[in-house]
Amino acid sequence: MNKSLKTLVVAVIAGLSFSANAEFKQAPLPYSVNALEPAIDQTTMEIHFGKHHKAYVDNLNAQIKNYPALDKLNIEAIQAQISKYNAAVRNNGGGHFNHAFFWESLTPVSKSGKPSAALLKQINNDFGSFENFQKKFNEAATGRFGSGWAWLIVTPEGKLDVSSTPNQDNPLMDIAEVKGKPLLGLDVWEHAYYLKYQNRRADYTKAFWSVVNWQKVSDRYVQAIK
C-alpha cells in the first residue's frame, strides 16, 4: 500500500471511529424469562423486558438527533447531567439505566445468596439490623405514590441509605432529592407486577427478596466505596 493510500485509509477509519453512531443497546437478560418464578412470572418478564425496557432504549436513541452529545456518553454519565436534557431523555434515559440495573439485581432463588460480610456489617451499622433495613426498604417501595422505584444507596458520605424516586428517576441523577450510588433497586411501576399481584404491591415487594442477586449487590458496594 503506497503512503498516500495508507494515510487515507487511516483517516477514514479514524473518522468512522469518531462519528459512528454508538446507539444504546439493550443487553440480553442474564437468565431465562421464567427463571425468577414464582416471585416474578414469565409473562410479566416477557412484557417488561421485551416491550417496556425496549421502548425506553428505542426512545432514548431517537433523542440522539436532538442531543448529538448523547452518542458519546455512557448511560451512567447521562444520569449525572440529566438536567441538561428534555423530559424524553430524562424519562427514557432513566428508564434504560434503571431497567438494565434491575435485571442485574435479580437472580433465580437458588442463586440469591446473602450479602457479603462487609455489606452486612455496614447494613447493621447504618440500619441496626438486616431486618430493619428490609423494613425501611419495603416502606419505601410500598409508600411510593404512583410509579417509581425503591433504592439501597451509598451516600456521598459513605453510609447506606434507602430512598425512593418517582417515575424513571434514580439516585444518580443531578436532580434527585436523595443522591447516591445505587446498590439495589426495585421497580414498583404496575407493569412490573400487576399481572401476578394486581394491587398487592406489598406481596410483590416481599417476593422480591427471594430473587435478589446479593453477589451483584455486594460487588457494587465494593465499587461504590472505593
CATH of 38-226, one of 3.50.50.60, 3.55.40.20, 2.70.98.10, 3.30.420.40: 3.55.40.20
Q: Of 149, 147, 152, nearest to 130 (Cα)?
A: 152
Note if the pTM is more than 0.75: yes
- State the Cα–Cα distance between residues 67 and 181, nearest whole angstrom: 25
* pLDDT tens readout for residues 147-164: 999 999 999 999 999 999
* pLDDT tens readout for residues 27-68: 999 999 999 999 999 999 999 999 999 999 999 999 999 999
Non-local (6+) Cβ contacts of 106 within 8 A are 31, 36, 40, 211, 212, 213
Query: What are the residue ranges spanned by the domains of the chain?
Result: 38-226
* pLDDT tens readout for residues 70-100: 989 999 999 999 999 999 999 999 999 999 9
DSSP state of 68: G
